[in-house]
Amino acid sequence: MNRRLSESRIRATCRELIASHGQVSGRRVCAELRTRFGAVGKTERVFGIWREEQAAKAERTALATVPSAPPDVVELERRLKAAEDAAAVNLKRAELAEIREQAHQEKWGMEVDRLRQRLRTQETTEAEIRRLQDRVLQLSRELMGYRA
């Protein structure tokens, strides 16, 4: 039979003991688990959860002793956080737009270069055609001269 205790049961037991007795040892938590559930679980796991719960309690106590800020300061902090979040989103959007613009410029720059090369090739081809047509015309005249 699997007698492994769930993390939620261990956490709940730790929280109850800490709430009712304040500072509680890890051994006390193990003894309480054995009493309640007939099993303790792995010591390393139980003590890890116990340490986390002790730290959470200490943090809650520290937060409770800090005086609360006036409502207008809290509102300003909330607005500042919202503005920072919006700025981060806008920065990310601007970076993405810059990347897109760069890709756009590169694509059309390459396209313009390709068309210029094609035009140069076409111009030389047209000049070659004109030269060949002139040569054909000249040879036709010579041929007519020989026939006459």
**Percentage of residues in the chain having pLDDT higher than 70:** 93
For 30-42, how does the pLDDT look when each residue is reduced to its tens digit (9 = 90+)?
888 888 888 877 8
Domain spans in the chain, listed from the N-terminal domain onward:
1-66, 70-148
Q: Each residue of 63-76: b (16+ CB within 10 Å) or e?
A: eeeeeeeeeeeeee
CA neighbor of 136 nearest in space, from 128, 147, 125:
128
HSE at residue 25, side-chain half, CA atoms within 13 A, is: 3
For 64-82, how does the pLDDT look when each residue is reduced to its tens digit (9 = 90+)?
665 666 778 888 999 999 9
Per-residue confidence (pLDDT) for residue 1, from 0 to 100: 38
**Percentage of residues in the chain having pLDDT higher than 90:** 39
The CA distance from 62 to 65, in Å, is 5
For 80-95, how does the pLDDT look when each residue is reduced to its tens digit (9 = 90+)?
999 999 999 999 999 9
Is the pLDDT higher at 123 or at 3? 123
Asked if pLDDT for residue 2 goes beyond 60, the answer is no
CA neighbor of 17 nearest in space, from 31, 5, 3:
31
DSSP letters, 5-71, are PPHHHHHHHHHHHHHHHSS--HHHHHHHHHHHHS----HHHHHHHHHHHHHHHHHHHHHHHSPPPPH
From the number of C-beta atoms within 10 Å of its C-beta (0-12, 13-18, 19+), residue 24 rates as: buried
DSSP letters, 84-117, are HHHHHHHHHHHHHHHHHHHHHHHHHHHHHHHHHH
CA neighbor of 40 nearest in space, from 53, 27, 52, 23:
27
Asked if pLDDT for residue 60 goes beyond 60, the answer is yes
